């Protein structure tokens, strides 16, 4: 029998990557869908009166092997994809969508769930059981269980179409990223570029049997060029290439896909009785309504915009004085910001990078986790990896108990999408008295080591590593009964709190001394550089805040209105950006066609959650600062009331239990330098 249709006979029950062949996925998933259907049938046909155990718990633990196999498959589709895998994804996504609908539109199953939900107050359930029951009931009611037969069929068709469109959207962006290469043959065109970036570009060219230096749209190649390269014309070309992904009117164009996704989401929400997609999504968020989100974003906009305009004018004047630039363009932003930052703080990433060797940072993140939460990380080489670059660890507590298996995948490659994310290969839960521990992974795209240098990170990459590690800790420290309430299975606008709060340690002397050591001399980062990092932390914070708000408003614009009359993606986007735009528009560019967070990932009507969670994280870290950033008592409270609880209770209840009060936005505005 195929290795994927049985429980894995591997150490720690880990994913058997080496034994998996791509051709195994589809047949295994089809078999496992049938097995899951049998489990559902057994629940429906159970002659006993519906109880929490024989219906809600049985439903929660059904299809577990299917969930594991699909999580492996879709994680590989993001981190180590191929044409084969993408083709399989296109084939199985609608099948899985159909199976999901088979469950949520099953009237007999819903009847049993509703019977229990209707009498929940008399059942003496625990808090976690109450939450699970509500979640299961809503998974039916919010997915069409109350619809008539015709509307249920409509919903199925919409969901199948959406599953395929979202995949196509992501595949087009990846193909666009991989397709573009800028080969430079004159060294003068690399003027300003740091030696490490030049060496990496040379190495990349050699790996593809090309002369000169190769620049791509992968972040470790693209960002240094846009930040340091003196050649403005090449920066313009590169910027337009990045900004025009899937917006060229060719076979990889996403404009129609964007319109189709927006309209299908609106139609789906209406079918389910909601005014818009945003109303549907936000019912299950801390924010609750589109009005709350828009008020939140516009309130932040009113506070950030004056600072952003001042910063922009200063940058414009600086560029004019320095290079007689008449009009500041988008491809000038990173370049002159870096120059101005160096002038104001005598600080640039090249000065800092020698202190941020990747291996030291990994050890540093582990040490921070050990000091705060009593976790210990041990490298293991006795489990499978899906790529040789992947690092694998066993995580234990002070007593030596297994807490988690941890995968880390740090470097870009052809089959890996851009960006950084955390994911899971196996959830945490308790079943039949057995504690199952989670298998968690983080995936990043950092600068690869070269022949002469190890992987040295920019400060932005340092905070990215800590951010994803914060998500990982949320997954690792899960301590719930039910898998669907475990770890990061929380309201979307709460999920960024553990990740964003971890970034704060990157700015603190006490933490930096643990991991910021010169890769050649071992010297700890000098105090004057630590001070400069702190001083420069609010540099251009107004513009950065405005940028995040603009993405949040664009997201809400697509999803909190009827999109039926939108004819042109670019025109519509321009209107959505009108209150947040600082730079002149670039005709060839479009954000929406490559906005994977909202059209491929799960952030539709949720992009605001980054800023929302910043309010929580600034307030939470302020509490740590009052008591000491490694204060064990506060760390234990954070672990017990936030990290371990997953989605078992309303997040505001959990947060208040940790903090003793509701979060206040003042801590964020002060940290950002937007108020004194």
- Return d(Cα 416, Cα 216) in angstroms, integer: 14
25, two tokens: 């996925």
Q: What share of the chain is helix, strand, coil (3-state, %, to 5)?
A: 60, 5, 35
Q: Please report, for residues 118, 190, 514, the alpha-carbon distance to residue 186 in angstroms, rounded to integers and kept in the order given.
A: 73, 8, 41
Active site residue 195: no
Length of the chain: 676
Nearest to residue 231, comparing CAs of 174, 185, 178, 189? 189
Q: How far apart, in whole angstroms, are the C-alpha atoms of residue 261 and residue 283?
A: 20
CA 638, 641, 646, 650 torsion-angle sign = negative
Handedness of CA 131, 137, 140, 143 (dihedral sign): negative
C-alpha distance from residue 648 to each of 482, 641, 643, 645, 670 (Å) = 9, 10, 11, 6, 32
- Sign of dihedral through CA atoms 331, 334, 340, 342? negative
Residues sharing a CB contact under 8 Å with residue 373, sequence separation 6 or more, in sequence order? 473, 477, 635, 639, 643
The contacts of residue 4 (CB under 8 Å, 6+ apart) are: 20, 24, 25, 28, 29, 32, 69
Going through 418-525 in order, the beta strands assigned E by DSSP cover 421-426, 429-431, 434-436, 439-443
Q: Which of 60, 468, 496, 614 is catalytic?
A: 468
Q: Which residues contact 105 (CB under 8 A, 6 or more apart)?
A: 143, 144, 145, 147, 152, 155, 156
Residue listed under structure tokens 């003027």: 191
Phi, psi of 356 (to 5 degrees): -120, 60
- C-alpha 647 chain-centroid distance: 18
Structural contact between residues 440 and 472, judged by C-beta atoms closer than 8 angstroms = yes
Reading the block at residue 38, the tokens are: 């049998």
Residue linked to tokens 């249709």: 5
Question: Which tokens sit at 378?
Answer: 């041990």
The answer to whether 393 and 377 are in contact (CB under 8 A) is: yes
Taking the C-alpha atoms of residue 598 and residue 467, their distance in angstroms, rounded to an integer, is: 20
Residue 19 per-residue DSSP state: G
Alpha-carbon span 66 to 665, nearest angstrom: 42
Pairing of strands 213-215, 434-436: unpaired
CA distances in angstroms from 58 to 29, 131, 163, 665, listed in the order given: 20, 15, 27, 42
Q: Please, which residues have CB within 8 angstroms of residue 353's CB and are 6 or more apart in sequence? A: 196, 456, 457, 458
The CA distances from residue 626 to 466, 508, 623, in Å, are 21, 13, 5
Single out the residue of 20, 36, 7 nearest to residue 95, CA to CA.
36
Structure tokens at 137: 């009931």
Ramachandran sector of residue 12 (left: φ over 0; alpha: ψ -120 to 50; beta: rest): left
Question: Active-site residues: which are they?
Answer: 468
């Amino acid at each position: 029998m195929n290795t994927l249709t049985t429980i894995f006979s591997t150490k720690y029950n880990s994913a058997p990557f080496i034994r998996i062949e791509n051709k195994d996925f589809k047949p295994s998933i089809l078999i496992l869908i049938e097995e899951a259907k049998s489990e559902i049938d057994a629940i429906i046909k159970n002659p006993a009166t519906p109880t929490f155990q024989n219906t809600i718990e049985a439903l929660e633990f059904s299809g577990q092997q299917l969930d594991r196999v699909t999580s492996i498959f879709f994680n590989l589709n993001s981190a180590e994809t191929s044409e084969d895998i993408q083709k399989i994804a296109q084939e199985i996504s609608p099948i899985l969508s159909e199976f999901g609908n088979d469950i949520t539109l099953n009237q007999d199953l819903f009847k049993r769930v509703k019977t229990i939900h209707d009498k929940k107050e008399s059942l003496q359930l625990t808090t976690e059981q109450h939450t699970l029951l509500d979640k299961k009931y809503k998974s039916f009611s919010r997915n069409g269980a109350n619809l008539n037969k015709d509307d249920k069929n409509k919903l199925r068709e919409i969901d199948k179409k959406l599953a395929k469109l979202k995949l196509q959207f992501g595949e087009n962006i990846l193909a666009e990223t991989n397709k573009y290469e800028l080969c430079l043959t004159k060294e003068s065109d690399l003027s300003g570029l740091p030696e490490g970036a030049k060496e990496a570009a040379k190495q990349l060219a050699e790996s593809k049997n090309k002369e000169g230096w190769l620049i791509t749209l992968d972040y470790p190649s693209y960002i240094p060029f846009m930040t340091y390269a003196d050649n403005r014309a090449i920066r313009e070309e590169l910027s337009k290439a990045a900004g025009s992904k899937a917006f060229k009117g060719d076979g990889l164009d996403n404009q129609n896909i964007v319109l189709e996704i927006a309209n299908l989401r609106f139609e789906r929400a209406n079918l389910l009785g909601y005014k818009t997609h945003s109303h549907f999504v936000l019912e299950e968020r801390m924010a609750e309504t589109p009005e709350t989100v828009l008020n939140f974003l516009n309130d932040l906009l009113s506070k950030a915009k004056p600072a952003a305009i001042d910063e922009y004018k200063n940058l414009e004047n600086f560029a004019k004085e320095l290079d007689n630039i008449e009009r500041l363009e988008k491809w000038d932003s990173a370049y002159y910001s870096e120059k101005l930052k160096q002038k104001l703080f005598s600080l640039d990433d090249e000065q800092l990078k020698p202190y941020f060797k990747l291996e030291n940072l990994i050890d540093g993140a582990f040490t921070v986790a050990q000091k705060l939460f009593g976790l210990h990380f041990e490298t293991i080489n006795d489990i499978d990896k899906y790529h040789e670059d992947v690092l694998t660890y066993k995580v234990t507590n002070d007593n030596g108990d297994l807490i988690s298996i941890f995968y880390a995948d740090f470097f870009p490659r052809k089959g890996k999408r851009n960006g950084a994310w955390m994911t899971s290969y196996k959830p945490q839960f308790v079943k039949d008295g057995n504690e199952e521990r989670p298998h968690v992974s983080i995936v990043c795209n950092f600068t690869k080591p070269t022949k002469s240098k190890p992987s040295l990170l920019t400060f932005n990459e340092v905070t990215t590593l800590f951010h994803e590690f914060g998500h990982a800790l949320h997954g690792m420290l899960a301590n719930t009964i039910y898998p669907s309430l475990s770890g990061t299975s929380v309201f979307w606008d709460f999920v960024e709190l553990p990740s964003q709060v971890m970034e704060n340690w990157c700015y603190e002397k006490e933490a930096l001394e643990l991991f910021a050591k010169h890769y050649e001399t071992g010297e700890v980062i000098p105090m004057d550089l630590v001070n400069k990092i702190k001083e420069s932390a609010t540099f251009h914070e107004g513009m950065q805040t405005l940028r995040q708000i603009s993405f949040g408003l664009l997201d809400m614009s697509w999803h909190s209105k009827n999109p039926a009359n939108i004819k042109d993606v670019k025109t519509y986007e321009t209107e959505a950006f009108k209150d947040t735009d600082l730079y002149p528009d670039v005709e060839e560019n479009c954000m929406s066609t490559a906005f994977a967070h909202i059209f491929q990932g799960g952030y539709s009507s949720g992009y605001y959650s980054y800023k929302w969670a910043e309010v929580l994280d600034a307030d939470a870290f302020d509490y740590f600062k009052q008591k000491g950033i490694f204060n064990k008592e506060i760390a234990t409270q954070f672990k017990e009331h936030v990290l371990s609880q997953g989605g078992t209770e309303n997040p505001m209840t959990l947060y208040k239990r940790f903090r003793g009060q509701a979060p206040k936005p003042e801590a964020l505005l002060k940290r950002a330098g937007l108020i004194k």
